[in-house]
């Protein structure tokens, strides 16, 4: 037995699965302290299914804590941002493109040190260890407990970042160190940004993971637990503490993976309608299509893996205004059952429209019986327009494709979607996000530039595959089940030495005790 949990801004969903069979599920409003909401969901789930806690062998959790912390500028650690790149990169210092308020929140402690490599592994300049020890002394004097180290072309040769980390740990025992080559891809500034963002979340990561651990202990669940990554795979709790940034956008990813599992359709558009927002994304081989451009998180450009998802303000709690002509983007969220008109409140929401239109049996329909028919029709038209536009924006061709509807708010969609060859609404659609977490595999990825004058193409591919597989195993995958699911080669023809960029993704089943 395994449990999947998705902690969203509106609801906390929990599902119990036996292999590929859904045994039971439960949905409850997310609580301000989060942990009590998880405990409530699990208590009801285990009571409902009558499954003893000792039979639970693994728990998978998807969370928005870390994304919210960056967006809200709260609970972030001050960070020492150390770049190894002098004399080549002095004109654009670390965090140069960050929003001023976020940069100030984490202290704006930036350092430049001699070092770095060319694309083919040649040194730009030797690592200046004496200079780095001076930086460490300043970091120690400021009382900073977290550092991000980024070196030019470190995905090609990570040795300087690794040596710099050793020196920092020698000089400042107990310091958290995030290395950019373990998180981001080739571009220096975006990769450095991802490492800094990871570093500022390390304290929060420990607290959140410990709160999950305590919540499970209170329910006498001794099974190991895992955190969802944003590529549709899992990482163990210890890995999540080290790389919290990899959880960004894991919620929509879980929904898409759950949609593929529940429907059996691997190539389709997924529309996940929650309580506050809707997420639209494309499935490729059952996994979310990755964004091919730099993604902004809280106003900061990053280049680590992120799903290509379009979010917009349509959900079950979205507020309806202007006689039905305007939907959202604000929402009553988890207060729907107290503020919605069908539940005795005074706020007109999209769920009230669905109840009045007879699309769903919730609350008391008599409370919305006085809504004018034109208001209902206008609101339904606007809901449909928002969905049609979002699906069209995410398509890459004019051809009709299947559309899978999931999420509790998908009750709002009652008409055919433009550009859809068919609309699939699978069983258990309200908790596709938790199911996506429960059935997820464990993954690892590498993205490096190789020079073909040093080794053959086959040798480079084999090395990249070994590295991706090793990362998957470190994250908790069973070595016997590792499979390479994606290989991408991009020849860099404008560079000498027949350089080629190789990206490999490997996944494996969860290693169960």
482-502 tens-digit pLDDT: 989 888 887 776 666 677 888
159 falls within a domain: yes
343 falls within a domain: no
Where does 264-349 have alpha helices with state H?
336-339
- Give the pLDDT of residue 130: 95
CB atoms within 10 A of CB 226: 26
311 falls within a domain: no
Tell which of 200, 215, 248 closes a domain: 200
- Give the pLDDT of residue 9: 64
Tell which of 182, 200, 218 closes a domain: 200
Residue 194: which CATH number?
Answer: 3.40.50
395 falls within a domain: no
Four-point Cα dihedral 207, 213, 218, 222, nearest 10? -170
- Give the pLDDT of residue 162: 96
Where does 60-201 have alpha helices with state H?
65-72, 100-105, 129-141, 159-171, 188-200
122 falls within a domain: yes
Of 238, 145, 146, 231, the closest CA to residue 197 belongs to 146
Contact between residue 183 and residue 195 where contact means Cβ atoms under 8 Å apart: yes
φ, ψ of residue 451 in degrees (nearest 5): -105, 120
Long-range interactions of 393-396: CB distance < 8 A, separation 24+: 393/280, 393/310, 394/269, 394/280, 394/281, 394/282, 394/308, 394/310, 395/269, 395/282, 395/419, 396/282
- Give the pLDDT of residue 513: 55
234 falls within a domain: no
pLDDT in tens, 168-199: 999 999 999 999 998 887 789 999 999 999 99
CA distance 459 to 465: 10
H/E segment holding residue 385: helix 373-394
- Give the pLDDT of residue 172: 96
- Give the pLDDT of residue 466: 93
183 falls within a domain: yes
441-451 and 233-236 beta bridge pairing: parallel
This prediction has a pTM of 0.76
Which domain, by its residues, includes 111? 77-200
- Give the pLDDT of residue 127: 95
479 falls within a domain: yes
- Give the pLDDT of residue 174: 93
Tell which of 200, 225, 247 closes a domain: 200
Residue ranges in the chain whose pLDDT is less than 70: 9-10, 32-34, 65, 68, 71-72, 493-497, 512-513
What is the count of structural domains for the chain?
2
């Amino acid at each position: 037995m395994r449990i999947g949990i998705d902690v969203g801004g509106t609801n906390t969903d929990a599902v119990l699965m036996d292999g590929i069979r859904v045994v039971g599920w439960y949905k409850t409003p997310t609580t301000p302290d989060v942990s009590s909401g998880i405990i409530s969901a699990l208590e009801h789930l285990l009571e409902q299914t009558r499954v003893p806690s000792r039979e639970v062998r693994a728990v998978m959790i998807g969370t928005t804590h870390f994304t919210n912390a960056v967006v809200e500028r709260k609970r972030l650690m001050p960070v020492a941002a150390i770049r190894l790149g002098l004399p080549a990169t002095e004109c654009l210092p670390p965090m140069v493109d960050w929003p001023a308020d976020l940069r100030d929140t984490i202290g704006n402690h930036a350092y430049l040190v001699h070092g770095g490599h060319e694309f083919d592994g040649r040194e730009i300049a030797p690592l200046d260890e004496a200079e780095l020890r001076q930086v460490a002394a300043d970091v120690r004097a400021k009382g900073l407990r977290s550092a991000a180290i980024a070196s030019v072309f470190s995905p090609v040769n990570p040795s300087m970042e690794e040596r710099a980390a050793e020196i920092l740990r020698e000089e400042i025992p107990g310091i958290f160190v995030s290395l950019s080559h373990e998180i981001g891809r080739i571009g220096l500034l975006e990769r450095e940004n991802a490492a800094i963002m990871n570093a500022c979340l390390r304290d929060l990561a420990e607290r959140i993971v410990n709160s999950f651990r305590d919540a499970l202990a209170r329910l006498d669940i001794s099974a190991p637990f895992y955190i969802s990554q944003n590529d549709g795979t899992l990482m163990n709790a210890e890995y999540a503490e080290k790389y919290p940034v990899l959880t960004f956008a894991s919620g929509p990813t879980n929904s898409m993976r759950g949609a593929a599992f529940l429907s059996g359709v691997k190539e389709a558009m997924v529309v996940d309608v929650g309580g506050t927002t809707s997420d639209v994304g494309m499935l490729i081989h059952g996994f979310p299509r990755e964004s091919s451009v730099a993604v902004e998180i809280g106003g900061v450009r990053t280049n680590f893996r992120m799903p290509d998802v379009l979010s917009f303000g349509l959900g079950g709690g979205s507020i309806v205004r202007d006689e039905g002509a305007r939907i959202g983007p604000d929402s009553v969220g988890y207060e729907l059952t107290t503020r919605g008109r069908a539940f005795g409140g005074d706020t007109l929401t999209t769920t009230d429209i669905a109840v009045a239109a007879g699309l769903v049996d919730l609350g008391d329909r008599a409370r919305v019986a006085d809504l004018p028919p034109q208001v209902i029709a206008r609101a339904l038209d606007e809901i449909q327009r928002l969905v049609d536009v979002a699906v069209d924006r995410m398509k890459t061709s004019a051809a009709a494709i299947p559309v899978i509807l999931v999420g509790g708010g998908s009750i709002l969609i009652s008409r055919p979607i433009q550009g859809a060859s068919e609309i699939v609404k699978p069983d258990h659609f309200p908790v596709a996000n938790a199911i996506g977490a429960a059935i997820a595999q464990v993954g690892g990825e590498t993205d490096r530039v190789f020079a073909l004058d040093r080794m053959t193409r086959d040798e480079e591919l084999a090395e990249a595959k070994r590295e991706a597989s090793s990362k998957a195993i470190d994250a908790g995958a069973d070595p016997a089940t590792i499979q390479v699911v994606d290989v991408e080669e991009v020849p860099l023809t404008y560079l000498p030495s027949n350089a080629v960029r190789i990206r490999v993704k490997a996944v494996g089943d969860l290693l169960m005790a």
